[in-house]
Structure 1
Amino acid sequence: MSLDRRTFIGRTAATSAGVALATAAGTTPAAAEWTPDPLRFSFSVMGTTDLHGNVLNWDYFTDAEFTDGEGNDIGLAKLSTLINAIRDERGPHRTLLIDAGDTIQGTQLAYYYAKIDPITGGNGGPVHPMALAMNAMGYDAVALGNHEFNYGIPLLRAFEEQCDFPLLAANALDAATERPAFPPYWIGTLRNPYGRDVKVGVLGLTNPGIAVWDRAHVEGLMTFPGLPEQAAHWVPRMRAAGADVVIVSAHSGTSGTSSYGDQLPHVENAAALVAEQVPGIDAILVGHAHEEIAERRVTNAETGRDVVLSEPLRWGMRLSVFDIELVWRRGHWQVESVGSRVLNANTADEDPRITALVAEEHANAVAYVNQVIGTASEAMTAAEAPWRDTPIIDFINHVQAETVRAAMAGTEYGDLPVLSQAACFSRTAAIPAGDVTIRDVAGMYVFENTLEARLVTGAQLKDYLEFSARYFARVPAGAPVDPEELTNADGTPDYNYDVVSGVTYDIDIAEPAGSRITGLAFEGEPVADTAEFVLAVNNYRANGGGNFPHVAAADQLWSNSDEIRNTIIAWVQANGEIDPAAFASVDWRLTRDGEPVF
């Protein structure tokens, strides 16, 4: 497919079937009812975030339409219907469409055009399906997320070249010049029938954690200072450039916390801090945290004015809509009110323009993930992996340990025991008995992590496991245990609960966090504090993701540039069969007073 196709589609206008689309979206067309007022103007800013490569309502790991227990739908095609309805409702020049990042990573569709048939920019090569869809939908500006950097800066630049909208990141700076490596902001004009045009500025802010999570891709090339500091620098400049309204598109949550602890001096989830600390902002589209926030108001400490925040969940499940009212005073527009809401994608049909547009790319991805690469002697599932040692997680650890062991052979660390760390990334992951496809394997490991080897001591390993065990709620001995209530204590996600293979240990859930690991042993003998181990660990964890102790500061003995997912796929192709009898074992268990919980 040539770039000409993308250019031809370009920034198409809203569909003419406005009434039908508005009805599908659960709204009522009102453009004809709007009467222009020389002293008042209203418009809507629509926002998406954390799309993660989802164009269609499709799950490439199950090879079927997406479904979950909450009845959510996903994808840009669904959102396009909602967006067109609002455009028809509002009428010409009264809407903008923006995004808060994490666009080009997350599905096998996105992976295909990053790794299997990668985009290169320019003419003649494939066009990224996210660029195809977002161009056709008429996005005005998109902030960068941390996952934009997962495939390296060259691929991100190729994606940028294919987009008809700017990629914004005021706090992604060129390491040599300390100047923005991407446009910091965009100012668009909404036409007014009375000649009093409205200028709307969008400031893009990305996540400082990129410096930790994608160090291999950005170290020495880009730096990522804090969001409040950069917003304080750029918002006055946007106002000076004529912006009547300032919207921030921030790939940053609202909690004020950081998963990487004190490794960086900048807060990961800083959107609310930006609202509170930086004057001159009217609204913030929030991303990164995968939460649904219809409307949150944060009072700015300097002006006393409310800043409205909204976050539309993830994957295209929701659409945030900021409704903004302006009044003409003293020769310029002033914001009179801002409100926000979220619309649910499951109320809309997929836009046939978008589904047709990416049909070829979708078919390519489906064909790729359905390739048979081996067999399995029995089925494995991750359904119970968060609270029970399961063969499917053992399999990941087996491949990782075997890979690192081979890399250490012949080195000064070749005689050290190799342990391996893994987490349950998806509770729906499963390997069927019989034929095994790429999508089966990819479903176990849904992130683009790479593999490293780090040197750790027995004492450090114990600390690491204690930190991981915070994942479980405390349940006294004798009290009933509900697996669904036991996990994710204090909001800890599944991907931040690590199990370690190669040693055995118990986790006493009757004890407080920090005092739960008992019986830590290697080959039947207690692990000494001074014992040394090689830990096979993914780069996210090794670079500080999740703020686990010791591992980020541990000596790096080896690293690999290939994704762990590809390493597992290659293992299956080379070995032909997955047989749990060769690797499955109970290395850890949940206990109370020494008795197993399950």
Structure 2
Amino acid sequence: MSGERTVRLTVMGTTDLHGNVFDWDYFRNTEYDDAAHNDIGLAKVSTLVTAIRNRISADPHAPRPLLLDAGDTIQGTPLAYYFAKIEPITGGRPHPMAVAMNAIGYDAAALGNHEFNYGLDVLREFQRQLDFPLLGANAQDWTTGLPVFPPYVLKRVHVPGEDPVTVGILGLTNPGIAIWDKAVVENRIRFGGVVEVAKAWVPRVRRAGADVVVVAAHSGMDLSSSYADALPVPENASALMVETVPGIDAVLVGHAHQEIPERLVTNQQTGEQAVLTEPLKWGMRLALIDLDLRKERGRWKVVGRQAQVLNANTVDADPEVLAVLQRDQDTVIEYVNSRIGMCTQAMSAATAPWEATTALDFVNFVQADTVAKALAGTPEAALPVLAIASPFNRAAAIPAGDVSIRDVAGLYVFDNTLLAVTMTGAQVGEYLEFSAQYFQQVSGTGPFTPDQVTNAPTPTAPNGTPDYNYDMVGGLTKPLTYRIDIAKPPGSRITDLAYGGTAPAPDQQFVVALNNYRQAGSGNFPHVTTAPVVYNRQVEIRQLMIDYVIATGTVDPSAFRTGAWSLVSGGAPVVVTPG
């Protein structure tokens, strides 16, 4: 009789929580909302998890469900930043994400790339605070190649009236960490490819006794790499992993911030299928993987599989999770809303992807000004200084009048640090040409909607180039001006490039301020990874912007407004009208 019995094991999953516990927009100081009316945060997830657990526990024959996460947990909101930098957990305070995840009862989590943003001391302290293992089979010691985090965990799940099911949970993180957080991991941790390391570890997990193998992979579903061939292994490879590595039953996918309720992928060697799911980001969704198991030759085997995602906006937040972290939340809200200065004119990033804005000019001014002052007295002090910025957050705005930390932080939502390199005029032009791939090729001057001209798909971004991979370049003491002709194909779009009104000589030297992600190779932009570094004090750009407002007291946009670039089609201005 037992050989014919089928039981259903449910595995719940989250990913890319990015410091979200509360359904709160810290930059707008209000409840979170977006065009799709999503809700966010672990408190909402907790309610969904409890409902699933209650439903399953009502079935006397069902094994208890598992709860996993696929990484990027401790970076992304002021709540996460505050307990990494302002009152860091290395001083003894528990991390809000650890408190929340422990309260909800996670069974395991994979490392994300953003776990490394604040350095290994913060990451290790976060790991110690968790009641469950933080997994990363491909985070390997620089010298020995051995994992420096647990590669997997075995969970023995009770099945009423039967032998327990042994579930092997393998964690894999993103090899791009080697580029994105080079300063943190170089000479300490190296990162093997997702597929290559899975090939080595899945059989070990099976030999260790796993009836079922579930992978929590911080690597997107479909094959692509933002860093192109800068690393020998791809950034996003979860589907390829299942196709080429036998023995995987299910994958909780992370990193790409996509909603993929269910995808079935067949292994090329065995013909067996695995189910993959990616539950969007920030706690907007909870993934449900249902694996039907049956005994074969005395061992449990997966004989059916399916997945779906549940929407967090269908439930109320768990009051117990809210209560345990309300004090931390109040502290952070008070911090981000503290007044630090005033601004004479409002600045908005709403149109920054398709036209020059004072908001992005402000970012570039602070970067370039910081570098120029730091280089005083050095051989590079006489070189003209440029800076590079991306439209990270179209919703960002600094109001006229009082300015708070959250106003400034909204312009720069990542924890990137500032570097500077030297580049030639020819290299700057090639850099701008590469960046201009962000725009779609059009005929005529419009009017166009933003989605008709921006976020063009490329071989390395088949779903569209994200805003954070579009860079604009500005000058400090003189403007760097250029036009982008989007009637032309990529590679021949930059026209009228000039510095201070004069076309730069191909060999003219510039100091270029940029963030650590870009300099390390993120986006695979040309020249910057090999350009000589002349400034690197590992100071966060966002904090430099906050410090500038505090120091000056009054921000006057006319002091750094450039209007230095524009979109054209056939030489005529392009009109972009938001819908």
* TM norm structure 1: 0.92
Rounded to whole Å, the distance in 2 between the matches of 1:100 and 1:314 is 10
Instruction: Call closer, same or farther: CA 1:130–1:36 in 2, change over 3 Å.
Output: farther
Rounded to whole Å, the distance in 2 between the matches of 1:187 and 1:559 is 43
Per-residue deviation, residues 460-515 of structure 1 (Å, max 9, x unmatched): 11110011111111111255422232111110011111000011000001111111
- Superposed displacement of residue 193, structure 1: 1.9
- Superposed displacement of residue 38, structure 1: 7.5
SS of the equivalent of 2:534 reads: strand
Per-residue deviation, residues 207-253 of structure 1 (Å, max 9, x unmatched): 00000000000001100010111111111111111111000000000
- Report 1:40-51 matches (<5 A): 40-51=6-17
Per-residue deviation, residues 412-471 of structure 1 (Å, max 9, x unmatched): 111110000001110000001111000101100000000011111111111100111111
Rounded to whole Å, the distance in 1 between the matches of 2:191 and 2:564 is 40
Q: 1:441 aligns with which of 408, 419, 425?
A: 408
Rounded to whole Å, the distance in 1 between the matches of 2:516 and 2:134 is 26
Rounded to whole Å, the distance in 1 between the matches of 2:546 and 2:80 is 18
Amino acid at match of 2:572: E
- Report 1:103-118 matches (<5 A): 103-118=73-88
Partner of 1:281: 248
Partner of 1:594: 571
- Superposed displacement of residue 177, structure 1: 2.2
Rounded to whole Å, the distance in 2 between the matches of 1:532 and 1:58 is 45
Identity of aligned residues (%): 57
Matched, 1:55 2:21: yes
- Superposed displacement of residue 528, structure 1: 1.5
- Tell me, yes or no, if the aligned pair for 2:3 and 2:294 is still in contact at 8 Å: no
- Tell me, yes or no, if the aligned pair for 1:38 and 1:194 is still in contact at 8 Å: no
- Superposed displacement of residue 37, structure 1: 9.1
Rounded to whole Å, the distance in 2 between the matches of 1:592 and 1:84 is 55
- Superposed displacement of residue 594, structure 1: 2.0
Matched, 1:373 2:343: no
- Report 1:81-480 matches (<5 A): 81-91=47-57, 93-120=63-90, 125-480=92-447
Rounded to whole Å, the distance in 1 between the matches of 2:484 and 2:537 is 31
SS of the equivalent of 1:374 reads: strand
Amino acid at match of 1:498: D
- Superposed displacement of residue 329, structure 1: 1.7
Rounded to whole Å, the distance in 1 between the matches of 2:550 and 2:103 is 39
Partner of 2:525: 548
- Tell me, yes or no, if the aligned pair for 1:43 and 1:90 is still in contact at 8 Å: no
- Superposed displacement of residue 562, structure 1: 1.5
Amino acid at match of 2:182: R
Rounded to whole Å, the distance in 1 between the matches of 2:485 and 2:165 is 61
Partner of 2:492: 515
Instruction: Call closer, same or farther: CA 1:88–1:36 in 2, change over 3 Å.
Output: farther
Per-residue deviation, residues 529-588 of structure 1 (Å, max 9, x unmatched): 111100001001000001111111111111121110001111111111110111102110
Per-residue deviation, residues 280-315 of structure 1 (Å, max 9, x unmatched): 000100000000001111110110111111000000
- Superposed displacement of residue 399, structure 1: 0.6
Partner of 2:44: 78
Rounded to whole Å, the distance in 2 between the matches of 1:439 and 1:478 is 36
SS of the equivalent of 2:199 reads: helix
- Tell me, yes or no, if the aligned pair for 2:2 and 2:295 is still in contact at 8 Å: no
- Tell me, yes or no, if the aligned pair for 2:63 and 2:160 is still in contact at 8 Å: no
Q: Which runs of at least 4 in structure 1 moved beyond 3 Å after TM superposition?
A: 35-38
- Superposed displacement of residue 94, structure 1: 2.1
Matched, 1:498 2:471: yes
Amino acid at match of 1:573: I
* TM norm structure 2: 0.95
Amino acid at match of 1:220: N
Amino acid at match of 2:23: N
Amino acid at match of 1:112: Y
Rounded to whole Å, the distance in 1 between the matches of 2:386 and 2:524 is 19
Rounded to whole Å, the distance in 1 between the matches of 2:192 and 2:408 is 37
Amino acid at match of 1:493: P
- Superposed displacement of residue 380, structure 1: 0.7
Amino acid at match of 2:184: H
Rounded to whole Å, the distance in 2 between the matches of 1:336 and 1:494 is 42
Rounded to whole Å, the distance in 2 between the matches of 1:573 and 1:407 is 19
Rounded to whole Å, the distance in 1 between the matches of 2:182 and 2:124 is 17
- Tell me, yes or no, if the aligned pair for 2:170 and 2:216 is still in contact at 8 Å: yes
Rounded to whole Å, the distance in 1 between the matches of 2:274 and 2:187 is 35
- Superposed displacement of residue 93, structure 1: 3.9
Rounded to whole Å, the distance in 2 between the matches of 1:478 and 1:537 is 31
Rounded to whole Å, the distance in 1 between the matches of 2:204 and 2:572 is 64
Instruction: Call closer, same or farther: CA 1:143–1:478 in 2, change over 3 Å.
Output: closer
Partner of 2:512: 535
Amino acid at match of 1:577: T
Rounded to whole Å, the distance in 1 between the matches of 2:4 and 2:101 is 33
Amino acid at match of 1:583: F
Instruction: Call closer, same or farther: CA 1:239–1:310 in 2, change over 3 Å.
Output: same
- Superposed displacement of residue 325, structure 1: 0.5
SS of the equivalent of 2:126 reads: helix
Matched, 1:573 2:573: no
SS of the equivalent of 1:364 reads: helix
Rounded to whole Å, the distance in 1 between the matches of 2:318 and 2:361 is 42
Per-residue deviation, residues 70-94 of structure 1 (Å, max 9, x unmatched): 1100000101111111101111742
Partner of 1:24: none
SS of the equivalent of 1:101 reads: coil
Rounded to whole Å, the distance in 2 between the matches of 1:200 and 1:441 is 46
> Which runs of 5 or more structure 1 residues have no equivalent in the other structure?
1-34
